[in-house]
Amino acid sequence: MTHVRRFGFSGALAVSIVVVMLFGINPITVLTGQVAKPLPHTPLTALAAIEAGDGQPADLVSALERETDGFWARGFRNGAAFYPAAELVMVPTRTDLGCGMSGSSIGTFYCPENSTIYVDMAAYADLVTAYPDAGHQAEAYLIGLAYGHHVQNAQKMFEERQQQSASMDQSVLDEFDERLSAQAACYAGASTKWAGLPALLDKPAIAEAIGAALAGGRDVTRATSRAADPLPHDLAPASAELTRQWFDIGYAIPAIGSCRLDKIELSS
């Protein structure tokens, strides 16, 4: 008991805890006899587990849901605004998609009508098969983009678009849509940075996988609705250059204010 007398009982206990941790044993198990639940995945640990063969795509989707929804909830709270939490639903195949999109090849999208993000897990698997080194990161971007649309919906941006549709010609509406598209990419950049992921659009392989998943870009601002005055299924997308520019702006300063719609200028 020489070491106990030298360091005291608390010191000996601390040393014991360090020893059991070195052997991969949770100290809570030793102290209480109860097996502690493992911590939930972060996007980075989920990606690492998938790469090691120990994780599943659903782990990454769930981690992104926790991180991204939590990020936007804090952002709205800091601005003294109410944030209506989004629901994320993983469906096994396209036939199980909601929002009137059953059978569509849309993959991952946001439904303003019920504030729900749908992730077609079969489409996700196909993306990974086609792009094994970039598919998971591409899916992370798609989910971030869908949450970007939810943030727009929470700020009544789609309502504004619907109100303007009666008084503006199509060219003006298309420009408004392009700004919405760029803004959603900016929001995706902000949540991507918060999740600890790299700047996804800066990696050519990931950008290529994203482009494939978005069918050449048409789904980038997909926002379906069965409202009396519905949004078109495809809003006019921003250019690849503008999308990357505003993703990078959101990534550089991850905050709602970085992505204000009135800051977004379209190239002439």
159: in domain? yes
37: in domain? no
Residues 115 and 17 in one domain: no
Q: Tell me how many domains the chain contains.
A: 2
φ, ψ of residue 49 to 5 degrees: the values are: -65, -40
Domain containing 27 equals 2-32
Q: Give the list of residues 6+ apart from residue 161 with CB closer than 8 angstroms, or none.
A: 173, 176, 177, 180, 231
38: in domain? no
Averaged over successive runs of 10 residues, the pLDDT of the chain (268 residues) comes to: 50 50 53 61 92 93 96 93 94 89 85 90 95 94 94 88 76 86 94 92 90 65 57 73 94 94 85
Residue-level pLDDT at 17: 47
Class of residue 76 by CB neighbours under 10 A (exposed 0-12, middle 13-18, buried 19+): middle
Residue whose tokens read 């005055």: 229
Residues 19 and 81 in one domain: no
Residues 214 and 164 in one domain: yes
Residue whose tokens read 């629901």: 87
Residues 72 and 12 in one domain: no
144: in domain? yes
Outline where the chain has alpha helix (H): 2-22, 27-32, 43-52, 57-78, 121-130, 135-154, 157-165, 170-194, 204-213, 240-252
Residues 12 and 89 in one domain: no
- Its sign, for the CA torsion 246, 217, 48, 43, is positive
268: in domain? no
pTM of the full predicted structure? 0.82
pLDDT digits (tens, 9 = 90+) for 194-231: 999 999 888 899 989 988 888 655 544 555 555 555 66
Helix axis angle, 135-154 to 204-213, nearest 10°: 60
Residues 137 and 165 in one domain: yes
173: in domain? yes
Residue-level pLDDT at 220: 45
Residues 132 and 84 in one domain: yes
